[in-house]
């Protein structure tokens, strides 16, 4: 997931950038409208964090141009302007969310995740968790922008875990995806697939919940019940 951060306040931008990067997101940081438009033209991004008071003008002009061009990517406005009129103007122009400075970084992260989920899930076929990206129709998977090649069974397992992120998926539900009918549920087929998946997508995504099943968390925390 690649985020364009248009913000001219050095300290704030640094804080935001570090926080997003620890969530596995790629951040392109610009300070001026002109640079933001160039990034959008040349490389694109998945989501924009947009300050309104930029040195070369009003950040809203970036948003206006985007929406005029028909681009639907999510835009979250970061602004010191907290008047209702300003917020309404931002939302009317096509912003998806609006945060008034100063804000708590944890809240920004949570709103970014919500927007990303909505956007990636918008076609009902694409899912993203902490830099792990999955497209169901094509069975394509990328981890931090690197393509990963999975077997059909591995893809099915990962897809279910990602779709149910933050909820523990029972072994039995996962086994039904990969075991031919009638095969013993005591077999270790599932464990072999999970171990192959972990090797391919990297440790840190699939957590074992002993005696119950597996879970992928939206955030990198490790609850006490998981190992």
> Could you say which of 12, 15, 26, 53 contacts Ca ion (CB under 5 A)?
53
Answer yes or no: are the C-beta atoms of 86 and 79 closer than 8 Å. yes
Residue given tokens 């919940």 in the structure block: 209
Please tell me whether residue 35 binds Ca ion under the rule CB under 5 A. Answer: no
Reported as type and span, the H/E element at residue 215 is strand 213-216
Query: Counting contacts by CB under 5 A, is residue 46 touching Ca ion?
Result: no
One symbol per residue from 69 to 98: x for binding Ca ion (CB under 5 A), - otherwise; what is it?
------------------------------
Binding Ca ion by CB under 5 A: which of 8, 26, 86, 136? Answer: 8
Cα 197 to Cα 143, 150, 217, distances in angstroms: 12, 8, 16
* Shortest spacing between CB 61 and Ca ion, in angstroms: 14
Q: How far is the CB of 115 from Ca ion (least distance, A)?
A: 21
Tell me which of 51, 97, 154, 175 binds Ca ion, using CB under 5 A: 51
Does 128 contact Ca ion by CB under 5 A? no
Count of residues binding Ca ion (CB under 5 A)? 3
Binding site for Ca ion (CB under 5 A): 8, 51, 53
């Amino acid at each position: 997931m690649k985020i364009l951060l248009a913000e001219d306040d050095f300290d704030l931008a640094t804080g935001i950038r570090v926080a997003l990067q620890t969530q596995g997101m790629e951040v392109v940081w610009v300070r001026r409208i002109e640079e933001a438009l160039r990034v959008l033209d040349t490389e694109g991004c998945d989501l924009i964090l947009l300050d309104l008071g930029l040195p070369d003008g009003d950040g809203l002009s970036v948003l206006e141009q985007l929406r005029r061009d028909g681009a639907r990517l999510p835009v979250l406005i970061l602004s010191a302007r907290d008047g209702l009129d300003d917020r309404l103007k931002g939302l009317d122009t096509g912003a998806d969310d609006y945060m008034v400075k100063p804000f708590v970084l944890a809240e920004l992260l949570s709103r970014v995740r919500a927007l990303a989920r909505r956007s990636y899930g918008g076609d009902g076929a694409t899912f993203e968790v902490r830099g792990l990206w999955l497209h169901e129709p094509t069975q394509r998977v990328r981890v931090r922008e690197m393509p990963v090649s999975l077997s059909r069974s591995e893809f099915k397992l990962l897809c279910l875990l990602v779709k149910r992120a933050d909820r523990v998926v029972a072994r039995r539900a996962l086994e039904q995806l990969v075991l031919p009918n009638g095969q013993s549920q005591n077999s270790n087929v599932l464990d072999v697939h999970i171990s192959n998946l972990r090797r391919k997508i990297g440790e840190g995504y699939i957590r074992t919940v002993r005696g119950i099943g597996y879970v992928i968390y939206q955030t990198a925390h490790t609850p006490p019940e998981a190992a």
